[in-house]
Every structure is written in structure tokens, then in C-alpha cells.
């Protein structure tokens, strides 16, 4: 070990964030376990200097709920103890949003920090450290001079001695980059404080060297086991004490301090990347999440479509309000999944949809008076397949002819809710790890472990609920079953389809309907010529009718026997409807004239001869009534995903699956029909 040599400079930077739509109890718990205790310890150590970042969504909560914390933080800033970092206000993944929004969100947070702390940050936090080479230009144009990225970015282009900071540029716009040390990410705060000091000593030589730890602030109290180790057992106090004791050769500085002392090296040009774990989750490129998770892609492309329409708004307050809603809908957490809940947390997805739908409604009402109806055809998912989008003053509907005319957005604008904010259950890499070696939850006496290494479970026997969906979960998905099939077989994926209709391409025709006195309408006809078992030809025709100004729409089904023999078939229509919680008594089914043993939307069961039912959500003040022209055998079940979160493997409700079905006997040339009506209303207005 070399105990002699040059000075080591150490930057400790913490990123603190809570996503748009997160539960208030999570904000409160994070404040009590992470944000406040860290500042309380920092206040007692006058020789410690740190850089701190707070996202705009977290700052909004702190200002409203904990204003004294803001005052305490300002005193530390005024005393030169804390460098406040900027960033994009609602913590978007910068490469996933337009450059104008990058600049606008960064400037918005800068102005907020000026108001609260009297400083104009020159450095920023890069959300999830997702870097792409074009970023220096918009970041520089937003007034930012530097940020931190992971050392893996540098390793990918051959850099080994990362003991300084570097300058890059894009089109002549410069930006300074500080490499984050991955080894420190796993030492702090998971190993004894002495191990970090030893690490610094081992890497000390005759030259001055820089080490940067820039990571989630929630590691200091919010991750499992860390509150006990960091605060109750005194890890942070001991760490700060040791740092102060080594101040003759180990100096804590902020980014701005170090830039005043030393000039950057460069130029350097880094490839696309993020931290090592993120590259593993995404397959090396963050935007792969849009391909891996169609649910994420639909949110992202909805955001882009709403933003494009926003560009048509004239200057004024509605334009600014719609822009803030749109920016809030860019918050990154619901768009991807790694070790945290992310995309699997339905309330985060719902919050994104809510902001985007509120922005869309505001934009459309500024551009045209209700009732109105917009009809568009195009490749909105950028998949190469055409989709059909209908937007009225009441509803937003997205159909996929490529997938049999199935429905992928069902938004009711008065409540700003998309009931097709659903999730398909799919394999995750950690599922196999748990199946091979499931570990019991870590005991309270053990040392805190990095969240990337936890293998805890939140529920005994959880792997028994691990199911995967054989096709995407949307609505208006048609099935042909063998007689006698059961809900249990359907849930496990063992029920057999008796035709070639499921999610297969359909021909489509569009027809504008005359104004019936209240608003114009549109009729979409999807048609597929297919075959049932034993090669029996069948025509499936689905006609969807939507009118402006209406909270309802209807679907007509026609099944035509094209063969020369009689046909006996069981025809079902699948709906997946997202109601946030399956166990909440304020979210429930209503079947007129019947008392369900368990009426919550997370219940399962089979009901015979059902003419209609409603799903009621009193929390969000909406009800959806589904009526059909002939009584149906009705299956209902919750769709629950098994995903990894901070605390371990957990089961989470994603949506309720409904499947009404009917038996048909069709002679050659005969047609069977079923008509459906879907009607939205406020929860208090629900009438069967």
C-alpha cells in the first residue's frame, strides 16, 4: 500500500427523486428514512462538502409538505457546504424526448432552483445516466456546463485511468464529463467506511487524482436494510468522521470546486450507454425498452403524438399549462424496468397516461369546439403496421387491424384514465434466477447489500403464481373455444383455440357517418376470412361505431358460416381493463340482480346468463358498463405480474380480464350476431 503521494479529491454527489404519480406514503417514508436524516448528519460535519440533486417532482412535494427542509438545505447551500445540481424538471430520459423539451425542462428546474436557493446551477444530473452523443448541444444550450456519467462509457472506448474530468462537444457546443467510479458505487454505503478509505489509499500515487461517486440518494436509508446500517448503526457519521480525519491528503470537493482548480482533459467522445446494470437490463441501449415493452412504446408514442398536436397551439396560458402536463408525462420511471418496480407499477403508468390525456384534452379544446371527432390512420407505434386512432371530446380509441382489429387505448377524457393501460406477463431474466435458487428474505442482523444483489421475496409461494401470456393483453380480442373449456384452463394458457383468428390481420374499411344532430360519427369495419377446426370456413366481421360528444360506443359482431356443413362454435371476446387495484373495496363489479360473493375487480369466477355488467372505480369517479345483446357466460379474473422491486420479488395486480362468450349453431350460409355497448359515466351516475 502506498501511504505517500499526491492529494486525492473526492466528489460525493447524490441524486434524489420521486416519480410523478408516486404514492404520498412513499414520498413521506423516503423523506423520513433518506432525505431528512442525511441532511441532519451533514449539518453536524462542517468539513464535508457534497453535491445534491432533487428532481422537480420531489421538490414540489418538499415545498408543499416539508418547507422547513428547504430552509435547512438553503442554509447549507449559502454556507458553501452543498452544490445544488440542476437537471430536467420531471426526470425524463433525455434522448427519448425532443430537444426543445430537453432544453425547456432543464431551464424550468434551473429557474426553480434560483427561486428556492438563489443559485444558478452549472452542473446537472443526467437521468439514469443515459447518454447519447448528441446530448451536449441541447444541454449546453440550456445553460449547463458539466455532468457525471459512468466510467463504463469511458471503458467502452479504451480509457483506463479515469482520475480526472474530460471535455466533449457536439457541433461546437462543449460539455464537461466527470466519470463515476463503479467500485465506489458498491463500497458506499454497503461496506465498512474503512474499506472506502483503504480503497483511496491503495489508489494514491504521486499525482493528484479525482474519484467521483454520483448515485441515488435513496441508497442512504431508502434501500432495504440501509436505514438501519447508515443511520441507526452510524455508518454515515463514521464515514464523514474518517473523511475529515484524512483531510491532509483526502479532500472533499464539489464539481464546481474541482473545475475551479483544474482544467479538463480532452477532447473525448463517448458512445451511447448508461451504467453497467442498465445496459444489461436494456440489452445495451436504453431505447430497446420501447421494443421490449409495447406498453412503454404506446406511452412514448402517445406522448410524441400529443406533443406534435401541442405545437399547433397559439401562445398563451393554455399552451403553457398543456406543456407542463406533457412534460410531467415524460417522467422516466414508468417507461422501463430493471431492479425497481418501474413499468410494473401500474400507478406510475396511470400517472403518465393521466398527464398525457389531460394535455390532449386541453389542446384539442383549444383547437376546436366540442363535440368533435378526429380520425387518423398511420403507423403510430412505428412497427410497420397501420393503426387507427379515433379521438373525440370524450374518448380516445386506438385499433390495430394487424392484430385483428383489437383495441389498445380506451381512454375516457373526463377522468383522464386509459383503461387499456394494461400489461402483458412476460419472462424476465430474474424469474429464472429465482426458479433456480429462491432465497429467503435477508435477516435483520445481516449487513446491508446493494439492491442489485438482493434475492428476497415478499410472499411465500410467489413462484406458484408465475404465468406468462401467449399473446398481448388488450381488448376486443376474439376467441373460438372448444365446448366445455374452463376459466382455469384459460388462465394457465392450456385452453385450445379452434380457429386461425386470434390476433391475426383483418381487412379494414372506414366510413364517415352523417351528423345525427349532436356530432359526427365514424364506423370501422374489420373483417377476416378464416377457418375453424376441421378446415371449416368462417367470416368474422366486427363493426365499431363511435360518435362525437358521446361517452359510449358500440360493436357489432357477425359470424357467417361460409362452408357447406353445420358449424357449432363457442365465441368469446376478451377485455383487459386496468383498475389500479384488485383488492380495493371502492373498485368493484356490478351485475344487475345478482350478489357476487366477492365483487372486487380482483376477484375471479364464472357467471352464467349475464346480460350486462359494470366496473366501478369510485377512487377515480368512473364506471364502465358493458352490455351485450344476448346473455353470456362470463369469465372474470385478475391479471397479476411477478416482478422485482426494491424489497424483492412481488406480485402486483395489473388489470381485470373479462371474457363473455356465446354458443352458436350456424347452418351453411347462416349468420350469428352479437352486439355490444360500452358506456362510461361518473361512478355516482352509474345506472345498469
Q: Which entry of 60, 83, 128, 640 is annotated as an active-site residue?
A: 128
Q: Which entry of 43, 145, 170, 216 is annotated as an active-site residue?
A: 216
Among 474, 476, 299, smallest CA distance to 380 is for 299
Active-site residue 128, yes or no? yes
The answer to whether 423 touches 295, Cβ cutoff 8 Å, is yes
The grid coordinates listed for 406 are 383489437
Among 664, 482, 668, 669, smallest CA distance to 565 is for 668
Alpha helices (runs of H) in 390-453, residue ranges in sequence order: 429-436
Residues with Cβ within 8 Å of residue 232, at least 6 apart in sequence:
none
Among 421, 430, 420, smallest CA distance to 643 is for 430
Exposed (0-12), middle (13-18) or buried (19+): which is 302, by Cβ within 10 Å? Answer: buried
Alpha helices (runs of H) in 393-522, residue ranges in sequence order: 429-436, 487-492
CA 472 – CA 478 distance, rounded (Å): 13
Active-site residue 315, yes or no? no
* C-alpha distance from residue 426 to each of 280, 467, 659 (Å): 17, 8, 21
Residue 139: helix, strand or coil by DSSP?
helix
SS (H, E, C) 585-603: CCEEEECCCCCCCCCECCC
In degrees and rounded to multiples of 5, residue 31 shows phi and psi of: -65, -50
* C-alpha distance from residue 215 to each of 182, 218, 309, 573, 655 (Å): 10, 9, 37, 48, 34
The grid coordinates listed for 401 are 387491424
Among 314, 323, 331, smallest CA distance to 358 is for 323
Catalytic center residues: 128, 216
Amino acid at each position: 500500500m502506498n501511504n505517500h503521494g499526491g492529494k486525492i479529491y473526492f466528489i460525493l454527489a447524490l441524486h434524489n427523486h420521486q416519480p410523478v404519480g408516486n404514492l404520498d406514503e412513499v414520498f413521506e417514508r423516503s423523506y423520513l428514512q433518506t432525505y431528512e436524516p442525511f441532511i441532519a448528519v451533514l449539518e453536524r460535519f462542517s468539513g464535508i462538502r457534497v453535491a445534491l440533486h432533487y428532481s422537480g417532482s420531489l421538490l414540489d412535494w418538499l415545498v408543499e409538505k416539508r418547507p422547513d427542509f428547504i430552509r435547512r438545505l438553503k442554509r447549507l447551500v449559502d454556507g458553501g457546504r452543498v452544490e445544488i445540481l440542476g437537471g430536467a424538471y420531471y426526470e425524463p430520459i433525455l434522448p427519448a424526448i425532443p430537444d426543445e423539451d430537453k432544453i425547456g425542462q432543464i431551464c424550468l428546474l434551473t429557474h426553480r432552483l434560483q427561486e428556492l436557493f438563489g443559485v444558478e446551477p452549472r452542473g446537472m444530473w443526467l437521468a439514469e445516466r443515459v447518454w447519447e452523443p448528441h446530448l451536449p448541444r441541447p444541454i449546453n444550450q440550456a445553460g449547463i456546463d458539466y455532468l457525471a456519467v459512468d466510467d463504463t462509457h469511458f471503458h467502452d472506448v479504451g480509457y483506463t485511468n479515469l482520475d480526472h474530468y474530460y471535455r466533449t462537444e457536439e457541433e461546437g457546443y462543449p460539455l464537461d464529463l466527470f466519470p463515476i467510479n463503479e467500485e465506489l458505487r458498491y463500497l458506499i454505503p454497503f461496506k465498512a467506511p474503512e474499506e472506502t478509505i483503504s480503497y483511496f489509499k491503495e489508489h494514491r500515487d504521486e499525482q493528484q487524482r479525482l474519484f467521483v461517486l454520483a448515485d441515488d440518494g435513496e441508497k442512504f436509508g431508502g434501500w432495504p436494510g440501509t436505514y438501519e446500517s447508515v443511520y441507526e448503526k452510524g455508518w454515515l457519521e463514521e464515514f464523514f468522521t474518517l473523511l475529515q480525519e484524512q483531510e491532509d491528503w483526502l479532500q472533499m470537493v464539489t464539481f464546481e470546486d474541482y473545475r475551479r482548480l483544474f482544467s479538463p482533459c480532452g477532447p473525448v467522445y463517448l458512445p451511447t450507454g448508461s451504467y453497467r446494470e442498465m445496459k444489461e437490463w436494456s440489452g445495451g441501449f436504453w431505447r430497446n425498452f420501447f421494443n421490449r415493452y409495447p406498453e412503454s412504446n404506446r406511452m412514448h408514442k402517445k406522448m410524441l403524438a400529443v406533443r406534435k398536436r401541442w405545437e399547433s397551439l397559439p401562445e398563451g396560458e393554455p399552451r403553457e399549462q398543456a406543456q407542463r402536463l406533457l412534460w410531467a408525462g415524460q417522467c422516466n420511471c414508468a417507461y422501463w424496468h430493471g431492479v425497481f418496480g418501474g413499468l410494473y407499477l401500474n400507478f406510475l403508468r396511470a400517472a403518465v397516461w393521466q398527464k398525457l390525456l389531460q394535455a390532449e384534452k386541453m389542446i384539442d379544446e383549444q383547437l376546436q369546439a366540442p363535440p368533435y371527432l378526429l380520425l387518423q390512420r398511420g403507423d403510430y407505434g412505428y412497427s410497420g403496421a397501420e393503426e387507427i386512432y379515433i379521438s373525440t371530446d370524450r374518448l380516445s380509441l386506438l385499433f390495430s387491424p394487424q392484430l385483428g382489429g383489437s383495441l389498445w387505448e380506451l381512454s375516457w377524457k373526463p377522468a383522464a384514465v386509459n383503461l387499456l393501460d394494461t400489461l402483458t406477463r412476460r419472462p424476465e431474466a430474474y424469474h429464472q434466477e429465482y426458479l433456480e435458487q429462491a432465497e429467503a428474505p435477508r435477516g435483520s442482523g445481516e449487513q446491508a447489500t446493494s439492491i442489485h444483489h438482493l434475492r428476497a421475496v415478499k410472499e411465500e409461494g410467489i413462484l406458484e403464481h408465475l404465468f406468462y401470456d401467449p399473446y398481448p393483453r388488450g381488448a376486443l380480442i376474439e376467441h373460438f373455444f372448444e365446448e366445455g373449456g374452463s376459466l382455469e384452463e384459460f388462465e394457465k394458457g392450456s385452453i385450445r383455440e379452434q380457429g386461425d383468428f386470434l390476433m391475426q390481420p383483418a381487412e379494414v374499411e372506414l366510413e364517415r357517418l352523417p351528423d345525427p344532430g349532436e356530432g359526427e360519427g365514424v364506423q370501422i369495419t374489420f373483417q377476416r376470412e378464416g377457418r375453424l377446426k376441421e378446415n371449416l370456413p368462417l367470416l368474422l366481421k366486427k363493426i365499431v361505431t363511435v360518435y362525437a360528444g358521446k361517452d359510449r360506443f358500440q360493436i357489432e359482431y357477425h359470424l357467417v358460416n361460409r362452408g357447406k356443413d353445420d358449424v357449432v362454435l363457442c365465441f368469446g371476446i376478451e377485455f383487459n381493463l386496468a383498475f389500479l387495484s384488485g383488492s380495493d373495496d371502492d373498485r368493484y363489479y356490478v351485475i344487475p340482480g345478482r350478489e357476487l360473493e366477492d365483487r372486487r375487480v380482483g376477484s375471479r369466477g364464472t357467471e352464467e346468463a349475464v346480460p350486462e355488467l359494470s366496473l366501478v372505480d369510485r377512487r377515480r369517479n368512473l364506471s364502465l358498463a358493458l352490455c351485450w345483446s344476448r346473455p353470456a357466460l362470463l369469465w372474470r379474473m385478475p391479471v397479476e405480474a411477478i416482478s422485482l422491486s426494491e424489497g424483492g420479488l412481488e406480485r402486483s395486480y395489473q388489470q381485470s380480464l373479462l371474457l363473455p362468450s356465446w354458443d352458436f349453431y350456424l347452418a351453411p350460409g347462416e349468420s350469428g350476431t352479437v352486439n355490444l355497448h360500452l358506456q362510461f359515466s361518473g361512478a355516482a351516475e352509474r345506472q345498469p
